[in-house]
Chain A
Amino acid sequence: MTRSHAVQAVLLIAALALPAWAGPYWVHVGAIAWYYALLASSWALLAGYAGQFSFAHVAFAALGGYASALLSLHFGIPPGIGVVAGIVLAMVAGALIGWLVLRLTGPYLALFTLALSEIFRLMLVAEQQLTRGSLGLQVPGWFGGESDRPYYYFGLSLLVAALLLMAGLLRTRVGLFLRAIRDDEGAARAAGVNTTLYKILVFVVTSGLAGLAGTYYGPFVGILTPSMVILPEMGLVIAMAVIGGIESLPGAAVGAVIVYGLSELTREYGQWRFVLLGLALILVQRFAQNGIFAVLERPLLRPPAVEAERGRG
């Protein structure tokens, strides 16, 4: 067992125990934090592991959320089927965008996906008859009662399942190929890797998980608005992943919980809390480039696979 596993186990136990001692407010905050943790960790897979720096991730969350809600509201489809449909739609859109951006890298990919995200946001605003535009789409809840605990535990379950799914994927040859593509796509092709297939695959998987996050968020908050697709929301998800550790799935999730928790703790400071967030980002980049979680997860029992001795030549 590595220190990383021990840290993850402790964090999971703490998360499970939180509702027993924290008040309803923090249970509510925690339930929203799971939404961001799902987004940050799946974006870490897309950007940190596969090197696809997309700005459309929150758009996939909105797509999943809106699709699921609209199917329930307009066609009376049961929520479970609506969730599946929302996820599938996000995956199909992810495949399409993954195909569209095959030849784009770096800032070109970022700008292209940012433009797509903005187009989608404007469509949500413009299609008032369907989405109620900026007023927001009322979404019926899944669980009865006043307590947020069912959402808290459901959201935590989704996050754990998503992390296990992504970790499982990374343990296969797919994970190896994604990292190879990130490091040098041309060299990966020369090594026999079908980069087209795996780039589209990672967009499909991460878009599906973002869609899942959206389908969870709507019923919990009770309303979906186009503001969930604005650039600062995407910036927040990126900051969460970077602060936690962009090359660590649990790290990105922890980053989301820390950033969202701190933003709630500092709510009384208004806009200044975003200045604090910026400072935190700068400090992490300066002193812990691999994120806060990497500091904790250095293996205890295994030697690190890093900078080794230089030989001849």
Chain B
Amino acid sequence: MDEAEFFAADGLSKHFGGIIAVDGLSISLSRGELVGLIGPNGSGKTTTINMVAGALRPDEGTIRLRGVTMTGSPAHVFARGGVARTFQVPRLFRRMTVLENLIVPALSNPAARRAEAERRAGEVLSFLRLEHLTRSLARALSGGQQKLLELGRALMLRPSLLLLDEPFAGVHPQLLAQIMEHIGSLNAGGHTIIVVDHNIDAIRSLVRRTVVMAQGRKIADGPSEDVLRDPAVIRAYTGARDAH
């Protein structure tokens, strides 16, 4: 396998009726890369994440992970294949405990045993500093704790590729720093990560490479500092906002 193509999406397109959400997007990642995916509202970021996670089937294009073509597989096959994700608004199993939320993905592997899943959940909770909430119901958590728990649930899949959809949206600055720290240490530990967010400052300080989408297309891809100075990127943000 070519290391430069640890993950590759090639020519992805998705239409909803007459609306083109994603139009011929290609993106590839090498193992251990941390990439930011930004763009104005409606630029197709979340549709892209949904296709890469298997939640949406692309109309055109292919998705390969570690050389294996995943296109058209259901979401649970993507998950078991090592693609884990979070959602813009946390989607937890609200009437289940924090521990149960974490062991669901671990036990989705038929070979996994519950004791081992619980041990791993303990490690993840410790990493996220949530161990004091193990037996709490997910619906009882604060918004920030829910974001962390969802990250933990993704980690329980032992992902090869981690897709984080707006992890910084609506979180307290103190928690934002904590989430950034977690993402940084996960990447340092070898995780390949795509972060989608509107928080340009957070993206700039977290990732070295940024991909920008506008109107369903990729308009820039490269080192974050260069990309964020790109006039086309600034224009994409309606011109009303200076991306610097």
Are A183 and B95 in contact, with the CB atoms below 8 A? yes
B132 with A309: CB separation less than 8 A:
yes
B136 touches A305 (CB 8 A): yes
Q: B72: CB under 8 A from chain A?
A: no
User: Measured between alpha carbons, how far is A305 from B140 in the docked complex, in Å?
Assistant: 11
| Residue from the list A176, A182, A190, A306 in contact with B137, Cβ < 8 A | A306
Residues of chain B within 8 A of A306, CB atoms compared: 136-137, 140
Q: How far is the CA of A303 from the CA of B137 in the complex (A)?
A: 13
What separation, in Å, do the CA atoms of A308 and B92 have in the docked complex? Answer: 16
In the complex, which residue of chain B has the Cβ closest to the Cβ of A177? B104
In the complex the two chains form, is A188's CB within 8 Å of B104's CB?
A: yes
Q: Assuming A184-B91, A313-B171, is B140 touching A308 (CB within 8 A)? A: yes
List the B residue with the shortest CB-CB distance to A195.
Answer: B76
- Residues of chain A within 8 A (CB-CB) of B157 are 191-192
Q: What number of A residues sit within 8 Å (CB to CB) of B?
A: 29
List chain B residues, Cβ under 8 A from A191: 76, 79, 104-105, 108, 153, 156-157
A183 neighbours in B (Cβ, 8 Å):
92-96
B88 touches A (CB below 8 Å) = no
Name the contact of A311 in the complex, choosing from B85, B92, B107, B145 (C-beta under 8 A).
Answer: B145
B135 within 8 A of partner (CB)? yes
**B103 interface residue (CB < 8 Å to A):** yes
Quick check: A303 and B142 within 8 Å, CB to CB? no
B135 and A307 within 8 A (CB): no
Interface string of A137-171 (1 = CB under 8 A from B): 00000000000000000000000000000000000
A222 touches B (CB below 8 Å): no
> How far does the Cβ of B186 sit from chain A's closest Cβ, in whole Å?
18
Task: Name the A residues within 8 Å of B234 (CB-CB).
Answer: none
Q: Which residue of A lies closest to B81 (CB)?
A: A192
B55 partner residues in chain A, CB cutoff 8 A: 186, 189-190
CA gap between A275 and B84 in the complex, in Å = 51
**Residues on A with beta carbons closer than 8 Å to the beta carbon of B100:** 176, 179
Bound together, the chains give a CA A184 to CA B149 distance in angstroms of: 15
Contact with B along A182-222 (1 / 0, CB 8 A): 11101111111111100000000000000000000000000
B157 to chain A, nearest CB (A): 6
B132 to chain A, nearest CB (A): 7
- On whether the beta carbons of B135 and A305 are closer than 8 Å, the reply is yes
- Distance from A102 Cβ to chain B, minimum over Cβ atoms (Å): 11
Which chain A positions have C-beta within 8 A of B153? 191
- How far in angstroms is the closest Cβ of chain B from A246? 12
Complex Cα distance A196/B80, Å?
A: 15
Annotate B53-95 by CB proximity to A: 1 below 8 A, 0 otherwise.
1110000000000000000001110011000110100011111
Instruction: Say yes or no: is B238 at the interface (Cβ < 8 Å to chain A).
Output: no
A179 touches B75 (CB 8 A): no
- A313's nearest neighbour on chain B, judged by CB, is B144
Interface flag for A103 (CB, 8 Å): no
B15 on the A face (CB < 8 A)? no
CB distance from B129 to the nearest CB of A (A): 8
Q: Which residues does chain A contribute within 8 Å of B109, judged by CB atoms? A: 192
Among B80, B92, B114, B175, which residue has its beta carbon within 8 angstroms of that of A313? B175
Q: Would B79 and A192 count as touching, CB distance under 8 A?
A: yes
Beta-carbon contact of A303 and B135 below 8 Å: yes
Asked whether A307 lies within 8 Å of B140 as measured between CB atoms, the reply is yes
Q: How far is the CA of A196 from the CA of B76 in the complex (A)?
A: 10
Of B76, B92, B133, B175, which one neighbours A194 at CB under 8 angstroms? B76
Interface contact B95-A179, CB-CB below 8 Å: yes
Which A residues from 270 to 313 make CB contacts under 8 A with B?
303, 305-313
**Cβ of B169 under 8 Å from chain A:** no
Identify the interface centre among A173, A179, A193, A306: most chain B CB within 10 Å of its CB: A173
Determine whether B143 belongs to the interface, using a CB cutoff of 8 Å to chain A: yes
Q: Is the CB of B174 within 8 A of A313?
A: yes
For A184, the closest partner residue in chain B by CB is B91
A183, A191, A195, A311: which has the most chain B beta carbons within 10 Å?
A: A191
**B145 pairs with A189, CB closer than 8 A:** no
Given A176-B103, A195-B76, A312-B174, answer yes or no on A188-B93 (Cβ-Cβ < 8 Å): yes
Any A CB within 8 A of the CB of B202: no
A189 to B153, CA, bound (A): 12
Contact A179 B96 (CB under 8 A): yes
Q: How far is the CB of B77 from chain A (nearest CB, A)?
A: 8
A–B complex contacts, Cβ < 8 Å, 24 sampled: A177-B104, A177-B107, A179-B100, A180-B104, A184-B94, A189-B54, A190-B55, A190-B75, A190-B84, A192-B76, A192-B79, A192-B108, A305-B97, A305-B135, A306-B137, A308-B136, A309-B132, A309-B133, A311-B130, A311-B145, A312-B172, A313-B143, A313-B147, A313-B174
Beyond A189-B74, A190-B87, A308-B136, list 9 extra A-B contacts (CB 8 Å). Answer: A184-B91, A184-B92, A184-B94, A191-B76, A191-B79, A192-B108, A193-B108, A307-B137, A311-B145
